[in-house]
Structure 1
Amino acid sequence: MYSIIAIASLLIINWRVTVYIFIPLSLVILIINIASKKIKENRKVNREIHSKVSEMVGDTTKLVQTIKVSGGETSVLRHYEKLNNLRLNAILKDTLFDSSLQAILGGTVYIGTGVMMLVVARTMMEGRFPIGDFSMFVIYLETLASCVDRIVELVALIKQAEVSYDRIIQVVGENNESNLTSYCELSAFKPLEKFESDIAKVTPLKELKVINLTYGHDDKNGIEDVSFTLRPGEVLAIAGAVGSGKSTLLNLLTGVVPKDSGEILWNGVEMKNEKEFLQPPNVAYTPQLAKIFSETIGENLLLGKEASDNRIREALYYAVFEEEVFQMDQGLLTEAGSYGSRLSGGQRQRLALARMFIHHAQIYVMDDSSSALDGETEREFWNRFEENINNKNFGCIIASNKKQILQRADKVIFMKNGHVEGCGKAEELLENCKEFASIYSV
C-alpha cells in the first residue's frame, strides 16, 4: 500500500521523471524473469547432491561391518570426500548466484537516483524542479527499491521452494498432491476423542481362517485365491521358490498391505480393519532382515512398552539371547550401535525375535527369521520354540524352505507364482508335488 502511495505521489509531482526512474526498476523485473530458471537449476543440483551425500552416510552406518570386512574404508572415505566436494561446489554456485543477483538488483536505488539527477539537472538549474521535490523523489525511490528488493528475494525463494515441492511430489505421487495443502484441523488444544480399538475386543484364538486371499496378482509378487486354516498349537509353513508370493502373503496376514479380495476370519468373524487388528497382541511378526534402532538393547526390545523382568527374561530365553545379553557389561542398557552395528547378524535377528515374543501374541509370524542363526543356535531356537508353543498354545505361520522347519510343521502350503500348488503334511507333498520335493531336498 505504501508503495502504491509513493508511485502516485511521484506521478503527481512529475510524471516524466517518474517514468525515467521506472526504467531501472523495469530492468529488475526483466532480470528476475531471466534468472529465475537458473535459480531453480542451481537449487535442483544442490538438493540432488545433498541427497546423495545423505544416502551415502546412511548406507555407510548401516554397512559398517561389511565395509570393514572387505577392507573398503579408504575407498569409502575417498568417495565420501568426492561427494562432499561436489556438494561444496553446488552450494557455492547456488549461493554465489543468489548473492550476485541480490547485489546487482540492490544497486537499483543508486542507478535510479543517478538517472533522476541526470534528467532533472537542467530543470533544477532553471528552478522548475525544487529541492523539496527532489528530496521527495529520493525518499520514495528508496522505498520502491526496498519493495523491489523484497520481491526479488521472494521470487528466488519461490523458485527454490518449487524444487523441494517437486521432490516431495516424486515421493508421495501426483495423486496425493492435493493432500499436501488440504485443510487439517489441529487438535493440540482439544481433548482427545475416545478411541475404541478392535484390538480391545479380541477373543482368544480358536481358529484363523483365510479364504481366497488375493493381492496384486498382475505383479510378479502377487498372490491369488490363497486359503487355509490355523488353530492354536499349530505350525503352518509356507514354502516356495523366490518370487512365489511367500513374503507377500505374510505382509497381508500382518496388515502391512491391504488385500484386494478375500476374507480373513478370526473365530468365524471377518476382520473389518486388518491393518489395525493384525498386530500385537493379536499377531506379532519378525521379518527376514531384522530392523534395529540406534538405541540400547532394552529399548529395542520393548519399543516403549512396559514389561516385567520375568517377561523380558522369558522373551530373551525363547530367542536364545538371554545368556549373551546378561553377560554384557551393561546388560539391557548396552548400546546396539547405529542400526545395530555393534551386534552380530545373529544377535540382531535374535533381538528381533525376542521383540516378537515380548508381546505374548496369539499368532506368531516369521519370514525365515532363523536364517541368520548358526546351525547350533537355530536348533536350540526351534527346541525352545516347541517348548513355548506347547506351554502357551499359540498359532505360528513361518515362511521357509528349510527341511527341519517343514518337517516340524503341522501343515505346509507350497506356493508357485502366487498360487497354492499343494497343501498338507510335508510327507504328503513329497508324494504329490515334484517341485516341492526339489525344494525339500535342498
Structure 2
Amino acid sequence: MLEYFKWFWQFWKQTKLKLFFVLMVSAVSIFAKTAFPIFLKYIVDMFGTEYDKVEAHHLVLLYLFAAFFHEFISVFLPNFRAFMNLKFTVMVRNKYFTNFTKKNLHFFKKFRTGDLLTRLTDDIDGAWDRISWYSCSGVMRPIEAILILAFTLSVMFYYSVPLTFYTFIPLPFLVMILSKTEHKMVKFTMQKQKAISDCNNALESCFSGIRVIKTTLSEEDQIAKFDEILAVRVKKEKRFLKINLVIQFFSMLVNNAGIIIVIFVGSFYVVKGNITLGTLLLFIIYLQRMVEPIWTISWFYASSKQVFRYVDRLEETDIPEFDYPENTGDKKTVSDFENLRIENLSFRFDDSEKDILSNISFELKKGESLAIVGPLGSGKSTLLELIAGNLINVKGNIFINGEHLNKISHASLASIIGYIKQENVLFSESIRDNLELGDKFTEAEINKSLDTAIMTDEMKTFPKGLDTVLGQKGLSLSGGQKQRVSIARTLIRKPKLLLMDDCTAAMDANTEKTFWDNFRRNLPDTSCIIVTHRLATASHADKVLVIDDNTVKEFDTVDNLKKPGTLFMKIMTGDLDHDVLEEVSLRNKV
C-alpha cells in the first residue's frame, strides 16, 4: 500500500496547503459534532431535578450554536473536497495524456485507442470510487472517520468504560467479512474495467469506419457485435455490484448490531443507576454517528483495492521502452538536413518471425529525391517509419548528417522531417486548425502551402474558407481534398526531409506535375523520399529504389531503370506475375 501512496504523493505535494486546510476544517467540524451531544446529555439530565434556569438556557444556546456550526461545515466541506477532486482529475489526466503523446508507434500497437480512452476517463473520474475521488475525498473521509472515533470513544470511555467495550463486540465479524471478499473485489474490478475498455474500443472502431459501415450496409452486423460486447460488460458490472453490495450490507449489519447491544445493556445500567438517562442517550447518538465512520474505514479498505488497480492500469502505460529519445545531454540535435545514409538495415515486428526489411542500404543527399517502389507487402512504408524514427529494435544503421539516428533527439528529428502517410488523418476542427495544429502561421504562409498542394481553387468552394469546420476525421471532404490538406499541413512547416507514402495517388498526371513544379519552386532545398506505384510519380525522382522480397533489388536513375526487362518496369507496367504478388503479400503479412 505504501508504494501506491508514494504514487499519490506526486500530486498531493502540489496542493499541500489546500489539503492541510481540508484537514483542519474537518477537525473543527468533528469537534463541533462531538460537542453538541454532550450539551444535550446535560439538558436531559436536568429533567426531574432542580436546575438553574440560566445555566439551562446557556446549555440550550450552546447546543444550538454547535449544531448550526456543524451543519454549516457539513455543507461547505464536501463541496470544497469536490473542488479538490476535480483538481486532481486535471493533474492526473494531464500527466498521462502528456506521457501518451511521447510514446512511439509500438505503444499504440500494444494499447488500443478505446483502452487508452478508458484509462484516461473512467479509471480517473468515472465514478465516486475512482482515482480523482480517492485522491482527496477518499483519503480524507477515513482520516475524518478516525478522528470521529477517537473523539467519541474518548468521551464514551470517560462516562462508562464497560458500556464502551460492548460496542466492540461486532468488530471481529467485520474484519472477517472484509478478508473473505478482498480477492474477489480486486478480481471483479479488473474484469469490469477490461470490459469497459473493450466496449470503448468497439465504439471507436465503429465511429472511425462509419463510412465503410454505411456503404456496405453492415449496420445490423455492427449492432449485433456491439450487443455481444455490451452483454459481457453488463455481466461484469453486475458481478462487481453484487460483491460490493454484499460488503456494504454486512458492514452495515455488523455496525447496527453494536447499537442494539448498547441499547439493551445501557438500559440495564440506567435501571441499576450506573449511568444516567442522558449518558445512555449520548451513547446512542454517538453509536449512530459511529456507524458511518466504522463503515467508512471498512469501505476504505475495500475501495483502496479497487483504486490501486486503476493506478496499476495507468502505470502499465508508462513503459520506458516505448518512449521517444528525449532531448537530453547525450542526445544530438540537428537543424538542417545534409544527407541520409542507411547501412545493412533489417527490421521485423515483435510478433513476426520474418524480417519485413533485410539488408537495405542506400544514401540520399540534400536536395535529392528518391522514389521507392515494390510489390505489395515489400516493406516500403515500414522503411519510411524507420527513417522517421517511429519504429525501434532496428538491426543495422541509419545516419542523418553523419549522426546515428538513435543519438538524435526525437524533437530535433521531427523538426526537420515532414511525413505524409497514406492515411490522411484530419481532426473535426476548421481547415485552418488542421493546418496549424496549435502553431501560428501567417496568411501568406498558409496560402503558399495550399498553393503548393494545389488546394487554392478548392478553398474557393468552401463558404467559410479556412474557417470551414470539418466533420469527424474530415468526413465533409473528398478523399483527394483530405490528401491535399494533409500535404499542405506538412509543407507549411518547411521540412528539410520530406517522406511521402503514396500520397499523390489520387492526383492525375497533369495535377501531379503541377504539384512537383510547385514543390521544387517553393521548397528547392528539401530532399524527398516518396513511396509510389506510379511511373509518373517515380519519373520526378532523381533515383529509384526497388524493393522486392524485403530487400533491395535495383537502385539507379529512372532513365536507366526504364529499360525493358527490369523489375522496376515490370512493377510499373503491371507485368509482375499476380501469383508472385500474392505470395509476397502473404509471406510478409504480420
Q: Fold match, TM over 0.5?
A: yes
The Cα offsets for residues 282-312 of structure 1, whole Å up to 9 and x where unpaired, read as 2211011111111112211222333333432
Q: Normalized per residue, which structure has more helix?
A: 2
Shift of 1:212: 1.4
Match of 1:58 among 186, 200, 204: 204
Which range moved further: 391-400 or 72-81? 72-81
The 3 A distance-change label for structure 1 pair 380 and 49 is: farther
Task: Name the CA distance, whole Å, in 2 between partners of 1:318 and 1:221.
Answer: 37
Letter aligned with residue 492 of structure 2: I
Are residue 410 (structure 1) and residue 535 (structure 2) matched? no
Match of 2:555 among 398, 423, 430: 423
Is the CA contact 1:61–1:339 (under 8 Å) kept in the aligned structure 2?
no
Shift of 1:400: 2.3
Which range moved further: 77-86 or 243-252? 77-86
Partner residue, 1:332: 466
Partner residue, 2:513: 383
Match of 2:257 among 101, 106, 111: 111
Are residue 48 (structure 1) and residue 178 (structure 2) matched? no
Shift of 1:317: 2.9
The 3 A distance-change label for structure 1 pair 406 and 253 is: same
The 3 A distance-change label for structure 1 pair 224 and 310 is: same
Secondary structure in structure 2 of the residue aligned to 1:396: strand
Secondary structure in structure 1 of the residue aligned to 2:545: strand
Aligned length: 415
Task: Name the CA distance, whole Å, in 2 between partners of 1:308 and 1:136.
Answer: 75
Match of 2:571 among 432, 439, 442: 439
Partner residue, 1:191: none
Q: Tell me which of the two structures has the higher relative contact order, counting C-alpha pairs closer than 8 angstroms and 6 or more residues apart.
A: 1
Shift of 1:99: 4.7
Letter aligned with residue 383 of structure 1: K
Match of 2:501 among 367, 383, 388: 367
Secondary structure in structure 2 of the residue aligned to 1:369: coil
Moved over 6 A (4+): 8-16, 430-434
The Cα offsets for residues 244-299 of structure 1, whole Å up to 9 and x where unpaired, read as 33223212322323556524232x5666415233334x221101111111111221
Are residue 279 (structure 1) and residue 279 (structure 2) matched? no
Secondary structure in structure 1 of the residue aligned to 2:517: helix
Shift of 1:225: 4.8
Which range moved further: 2-11 or 256-265? 2-11
Letter aligned with residue 408 of structure 2: N
Give the unaligned 5+ runs of structure 2: 1-145, 324-328, 575-590
Partner residue, 1:183: none
Partner residue, 1:153: 299
Give the unaligned 5+ runs of structure 1: 180-194
The 3 A distance-change label for structure 1 pair 389 and 334 is: closer
Q: What is the percentage of aligned positions where both structures have the same residue?
A: 24
The Cα offsets for residues 80-106 of structure 1, whole Å up to 9 and x where unpaired, read as 566556656655664565355334423
The Cα offsets for residues 46-88 of structure 1, whole Å up to 9 and x where unpaired, read as 3233323322332232222112211234554565566556656
Letter aligned with residue 388 of structure 1: N
Shift of 1:217: 4.8
The 3 A distance-change label for structure 1 pair 296 and 274 is: same
Give the superposed CA RMSD.
3.8
Is the CA contact 1:320–1:380 (under 8 Å) kept in the aligned structure 2?
no
Is the CA contact 1:237–1:398 (under 8 Å) kept in the aligned structure 2?
yes
Are residue 212 (structure 1) and residue 318 (structure 2) matched? no
Task: Name the CA distance, whole Å, in 2 between partners of 1:155 and 1:432.
Answer: 77
Task: Name the CA distance, whole Å, in 2 between partners of 1:165 and 1:314.
Answer: 48
Shift of 1:243: 4.0
Secondary structure in structure 1 of the residue aligned to 2:454: coil
Partner residue, 1:187: none
Partner residue, 1:313: 447
